[in-house]
């Protein structure tokens, strides 16, 4: 035993149980490091073979104990004792190589985790959303739709505070609201829609309609103004009913915000959250896939045929508005407009058309459903 090994030095000890700093005396023995109270009573002796080096400033030699259930550590600033411990425990690495290796491993695992998350986001979530949407309880979808509806209204309603966002509430608009409700009832019946639909006309100038989860449908004032007849309006709304019936909105919402939305809905803690804001914006800006747009077009055609109305009305509206600079999200789908029109015309039957969904007076009233404000 050398002289340096025999003497005791003042050090700092943390017992791993409390955050308190303990001033102790440290000495080296042939078998390990003794930690003693200032009154020379023994606290603990650490065997050399269980010592491990911990990161610390250059002037501090910090060691801990392997396989300990407590986060004990000892801080020594006496370099002579530090060298004795180095000699007694060859496994201690003061070069920092092991710490650097641990950091590299941590970075590697973090990178792998990030890649995994990206793969889940790009491939896993869309697959999960497609499988989840058909079996998601309607009550949960309605809660998601209600949350998205709050955000969408805030994004869409940019008019003066004195102007109502929804049309049909003023006395002068009552006949228009009655005509709209009649049209919606016919379309829901023709499409055999078995989910609750909450359709409204809103003061937006785009010739468009939007579907949210839970059966929320916004029909824009601009659609009524640009449509040449009631069948064109009915064809567009029937297309949106197809998205609602096929639950396309909840698929997009889950893809955009992840499964946290669904789990949040179960826990009752998502309304107004950042995830819903992001998801609602994505819902309005994202285009549906070619398959989903075609399925919604098919639904519109079959609905109009079931009502003996003009099944090509959706195609005629799309073709006429396609060149407009203010077309709306109904044109965001991947299929090009000429391809959609050709497909719509190809699947219609010759005997379709002829029924009157609204008479002339009702159609005129519907066109004025937003009459109380310009």
CATH number at 3-94: 2.30.29.30
pTM of structure: 0.62
| Strand order from edge to edge, sheet including 9-14 | 42-47, 32-36, 22-28, 9-14, 73-76, 61-65, 51-54
- What residues does CATH 2.30.29.30 cover in the chain? 3-94
**Three-class HEC string of the chain:** CCHHHHCCEEEEEECCCCCCCEEEEEEECCCEEEEECCCCCEEEEEEHHHEEEECCCCCCEEEEECCCCCCCEEEECCHHHHHHHHHHCCCCCCCCHHHHHHHHHHHHHHHHHHHHHHHHHHHHHHHHHHHHHHHCCHHHHHHHHHHHHHHHHHHHCCCCCCCCCECCCCHHHHHHHHHHHHHHHHHHHHCCCCCCCEEEEECCCCCCEEEEHHHEEEEEHHHHHHCCCHHHHHHHHHHHHHHHHCCHHHHHHHHHHCCHHHHHHHHCCCCCCHHHHHHHHHHHHCCCCHHHHHHHHHHHHHHHHHCCCCCCHHHHHHHHHCCCCCCCHHHCCCCCHHHHHHHHHHHCCCCCCCCCCCCHHHHHHHHCCCCCCC
Mean pLDDT, rounded, of the chain:
80
Q: Residue 71's pLDDT is what?
A: 85
pLDDT average, residue stretch 32-39? 92
Q: What is the pLDDT of residues 137-159, one digit of tens each?
A: 777 778 878 888 888 888 888 88
Q: Residue 335's pLDDT is what?
A: 62
Q: Residue 229's pLDDT is what?
A: 95
Model confidence at 41: pLDDT above 90: yes
Q: What is the pLDDT of residues 328-348, one digit of tens each?
A: 555 555 568 888 999 999 988
Position 271 confidence tier, pLDDT thresholds 50, 70, 90: very low
Q: What is the pLDDT of residues 235-255, one digit of tens each?
A: 999 999 999 998 887 777 766
Q: What is the pLDDT of residues 86-135, one digit of tens each?
A: 777 766 655 555 555 566 677 766 666 555 544 444 444 555 555 655 66
Residue 16: which region, alpha, beta or left (left: phi > 0; alpha: psi -120 to 50)?
Answer: left
- Range in 5-19, 28-42, 295-309 with the lowest mean pLDDT: 5-19
Q: Residue 325's pLDDT is what?
A: 47
């Amino acid at each position: 035993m050398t002289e340096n090994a025999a003497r005791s030095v003042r050090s700092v000890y943390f017992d791993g149980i409390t955050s308190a700093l303990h001033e102790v005396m440290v000495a080296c023995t042939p078998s390990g490091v003794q930690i003693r109270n200032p009154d020379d009573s023994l606290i603990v002796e650490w065997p050399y073979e269980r010592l491990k080096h911990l990161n610390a400033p250059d002037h501090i030699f910090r060691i801990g104990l392997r396989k300990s259930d407590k986060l004990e550590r000892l801080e020594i600033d006496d370099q002579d004792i530090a060298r004795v411990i180095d000699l007694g425990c060859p496994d201690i690495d003061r070069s920092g190589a092991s710490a650097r290796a641990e950091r590299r491993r941590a970075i590697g695992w973090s990178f792998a985790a990030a890649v995994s998350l990206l793969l889940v986001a790009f491939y896993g979530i869309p697959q999960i959303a497609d499988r989840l949407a058909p079996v998601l309880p309607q009550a949960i979808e309605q809660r998601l739709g209600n949350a998205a509806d709050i955000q969408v209204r805030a994004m869409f309603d940019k008019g003066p505070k004195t102007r109502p966002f929804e049309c049909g509430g003023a006395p002068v608009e009552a006949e228009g609201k009655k005509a709209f409700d009649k049209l919606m009832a016919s379309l829901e019946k023709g499409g055999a829609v078995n989910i609750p639909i909450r359709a409204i006309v809103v003061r937006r100038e785009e010739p468009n309609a939007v579907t949210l989860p839970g059966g929320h449908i916004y029909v824009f004032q601009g659609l009524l103004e640009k449509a040449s007849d009631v069948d064109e309006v009915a064809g567009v709304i029937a297309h949106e009913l197809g998205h609602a019936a096929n639950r396309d909105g909840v698929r997009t919402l889950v893809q955009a915000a992840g499964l946290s939305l669904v789990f949040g809905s179960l826990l009752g803690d998502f309304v107004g959250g950042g995830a819903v804001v992001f998801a609602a914006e994505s819902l309005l800006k994202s285009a549906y896939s070619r398959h989903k747009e075609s399925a919604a077009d098919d639904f519109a055609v079959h609905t109009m045929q079931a009502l003996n109305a003009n099944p090509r009305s959706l195609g005629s509206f799309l073709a006429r508005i396609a060149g407009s600079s203010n077309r709306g999200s109904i044109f965001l789908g991947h299929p090009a407009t000429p391809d959609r029109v050709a497909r719509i015309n190809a699947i219609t039957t010759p005997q379709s058309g002829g029924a009157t969904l609204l008479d002339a007076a009702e159609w005129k009233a519907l066109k004025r459903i937003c009459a109380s404000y310009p």
